[in-house]
Structure 1
Amino acid sequence: MHSDTEQLGGQQPEDVIPVDLLLRRRPGTYSIERVFQIVADALPATIQTRWLQVPAGPWRLPDIVRNLLWCLRHCGRLVHVTGDVHYCVLALPGRRVVLTVHDLLMLTQLHGWRRRVVQKLWFDWPLRRCDIVTCISEQTKRELLALGCVRPDKIVVIPDPLSQDFVFCEKPFCSTRPRILHFNVTANKNLLRSIDALAGLPCQLRIIGQLNDEQRARLAARRIDYSNAWNLSDRDIIAEYQQCDLLLFPSLSEGFGMPIIEAQATGRPVVTSNRQPMPDTAGAAAAALVDPDNPTAIRAAIDRVIGDDDYRRRLVAAGRKNAARFAAAAIARRYSDIYRQLQAP
């Protein structure tokens, strides 16, 4: 990717603000990259972005050192660390730095000395050194404040933007055999309880993400009719929403919950967790909220969406209204304001 600054030969008018968007290197995952491509595309012309990708993966000590040295040499005056490589802030003395924190899931998966080291490198030290921290949800902000490593006045909550490619697509609801879409198969996505909830229900479960042996065994044991796909393009993902009848997203933990608003914008009813940040993302009365630990509760919500036409129509209408809150232009404007604030003398 090339920036407008590069196309102008490195020269900018005085009112143009150059911003380096610093990306992780993690082959096969693109969520952060998609989010900030949407933001960059919606920024005003006076904000000129340059995409920088660190040369090594984020976790091994030699890779961390390599990324730090690379940032020291290549980053400009105003840098936005877009996520996952928070420690790169430590290599940016004298720069104005924005750091986006998407979630704290990595800390919940670690214990003992590993957790202490990761907390220092990814949270304690970088959050103290950067100028502004953006979080994608109030839940992430609460979790950061609980760590005690950043002042509240330093944090700005800016949700993820919705791509303009997600538009309403009318589809007759198939109540006799609905196509139920389930995004991702990692432990926090709660697929096993979703499978238990669907046992005996005439439906087709569409799972996005590469299944493991335990998940395939549970699908077979519950006799679930399912299909599976992964490594989808953006166009393929949009088609998955258009072809489904409802989104099942009973996640145990999220930084934001992007599939919720993508489904709502497409015009699909959503069943998701009554656990933050999902209710904040989904909006009041715009999704069926359930206890994600309870397959019976998940099943009851699905049954109501399938069997109650009026309820389903209300969810769809409220969901479309809720998704409009996350328009890319409004989100980009908030980042633009931050860049201008940091550019000021």
Structure 2
Amino acid sequence: MTQKIAILGASGYTGAELCRLIAGHPEMEITALTGDRKAGQSMASVYPFLRNAGLPDLTRIEDVDFSGVDLAFCALPHATSQSVIKDLPSNLKVVDLSADFRLRDPEDYAKWYGKPHDAPELQAQAVYGLTEFYREEIAAARLVAGTGCNAATGQFALRPLIAAGVVDLDDIILDLICGVSGAGRSLKENILHAELSEGTNAYALGGTHRHLGEFDQEFSRVAGRPVEVQFTPHLAPFNRGILATCYVKGDADTIHATLLDAYQDEPFIEVLPMGTAPSTHDVRGTNYCHIGVVADRRSGRAQVVAALDNLCKGSSGQALQNANLMLGLDETAGLLGLGVFP
């Protein structure tokens, strides 16, 4: 039976990426798309690359008939999803791509996002959407919170190592580069071509990036004690991709073996041969994450490098992977496409 899908906030990058992925899904059909500022327009007029996908026109959320919808993706801005989702039918399955339900503790949400949560009862119900580590909980969930793209990349590289205790938990440095689509589609002066091209910059310095809330929550959970990593993100003038380089203390061969063991049965996580580092080129447009381990010249130190596409595995692809589980479908459905190169 074909699953009927709604995408709320379809006019943004993650909404468009969902449309692209679901267009090739064997058991899903998009029946409703919303985009309040572009309501009444066709998706072809907003994104010409989707003109052959046979999509419905954009409408307003209040005009959607959810009675025939099996699952809704919520690709709305942060602090918007919570007020929308709490008014949706209680039996509707929802995958939220914003930050609104990622943090379990309402006080943590207020700390990192600067305002109280509008739907704390739903926040308590939401399952954290890092598929490879919460598969069973996601399959049984009504509401799944997609991770931050930076947070997903860092966790794929580090989470198994922290859980196994094979790295020094008090000396982890995460240096990350993200393509400009990670900043969204809204007009911002700092991501104008003339402002960003031919250079790059670090931002959210000093431990202020909001994805640190996810790192603190998840790393401390698996370690069984507080873990705080040193994290610096950089904005780079390419469209898609994240490259995370993690500097850790531990035996490189043990680290590599731990990652191989953790991900040996995972369809979308590829641990590269020892000494090989991944590139964002290799995962562009895919739901794959590639991880490499390189021994440092200093004994007892290593670099763990992870690459993924921020719009796909870091957001919309991960959301579709979770939706497949929630609807009882093959987890990999619609997601096995290869990348685009060059």
**Shorter chain as normaliser: what TM range?**
0.3 to 0.5
TM-score by length of 1: 0.36
Q: Say which structure is richer in strand.
A: 2
Q: Say which structure is richer in helix.
A: 1
Bigger Rg, which one: 1
TM-score by length of 2: 0.37
